[in-house]
Amino acid sequence: MKSYEEINRRIEAGEAVVMTAEEIIDLVESRGAKEAAEEVDVVTTGTFGAMCSSGAFLNFGHSEPPIRMNKVWLNGVPAYTGIAAVDAYLGVTELKEEDNMHYGGAHVIEDLLSGEVIQMKATSYGTDCYPRKEIETSFTLDMLNQAYLFNPRNSLQNYAVATNSTDHILFTYMGKLLPNYGNATFSSAGQLSPLMNDPSCRTIGIGTRIFLGGAEGYVSWEGTQFSTSAPLNNGVPTRPSRSLAVVGDLKKMSTDYLRALTIHGYGISMAVGLGVPIPILDEEMAKAVAVRDEDILAPVLDYSVQSRDKKVLRDVSYAELRSGSIELFGKEVRTSSLSSYYMARQIAQELKSRIEKGEFMISRPVQPLPEDRSNKPLDIRSKEGVRV
């Protein structure tokens, strides 16, 4: 069994053997997990897709005279200010008030990364210590004191496949769904996805160093809607399961790996590039990272059913999904992905390169993620908290 320290020493010495989650599959199949574990030190993963639960904390600095920002707009997009005098959180899905569905928080973040000048307006009720009641100004990313990406839920472990049984088009966060099972959409990097390669989070926990938006980032907590109760197939959850809350320095990130998305008929999101290095500590980890698309199942759901409890029409593998079509009720249904496998591959390769150059070290989690967690629904309850 290898240690984190041993692997890092090999990285520092330029001796570490690093493979992507794609490359390790053939090695394990041809030579076995035991031999692969002895040879390979780190396996890199990647994902690049719509991650709505994303945003940035920004600190603007104090004006003269000072203002305690009660409301703030950045390029016309509201940001949340209930934190401190000149701090705000800008969510990527927040919409510009007078340009609904075309520009939002994700666009502001991408504009910041592109070096654009951002227009700010802030208002306040005024206090003795913060007398100013309004300010209009502008700034660029390098003028901010701090700007860091903080995403409460990213890199979700598996997700549903969306289709539509009705006779009309549906516009959803899973994209445009054609009538009468005309298409099916999915969103995962499958065998490259971080949490598919460490399904029980043996090596991924609080403090794990990751690739985030082109820079170094960290796992800061369990992601929202984190769950460990999903059924398994080949050791991998077949339903949405674990997720990661992540944080990183926005000033060091790149529009190559953070891009605003406009989803027609639904709203705004952001494509986030995220990669996790997985240390191959032993034979068990070598088996885990050799997971293939054909081993990973996802549920097909009818998104015309306006309920949180949609019936699973069937389970399909990611190999089937990536083939371009699946069979549903005897019909061939075209498939397409909302996440970019090409970019996921690029992220895994970039992370591999940085590790081989000694520019990216792996980190032992300071705290493991929960082993027993299930999601609770939002029910209608009385004032006494009793479900009605």
* Active site members: 129
Return the amino acid letter for 310.
Answer: K
The sign of the torsion formed by the CA atoms of 90, 93, 97, 101 equals positive
Structure tokens of 117? 């000048």
Residue whose C-alpha is closest to residue 231's, from 279, 304, 326, 299? 299
DSSP 10-29: HHHTT---EEETTHHHHHHH
The DSSP element (H or E) to which 155 belongs, if any, is: none
Q: What is the distance between the alpha carbons of residues 386 and 190, in angstroms, rounded to a whole number?
A: 40
Q: Which residues contact 82 (CB under 8 A, 6 or more apart)?
A: none
In order of 66, 163, 176, 314, 317, the CA distances from 334 in angstroms are 57, 10, 13, 15, 14
Output the CA torsion sign for 149, 273, 164, 225.
Answer: negative
Both tokens assigned to 361? 């070290």
Tell me the backbone φ, ψ of residue 369, rounded to 5 degrees: -80, 160
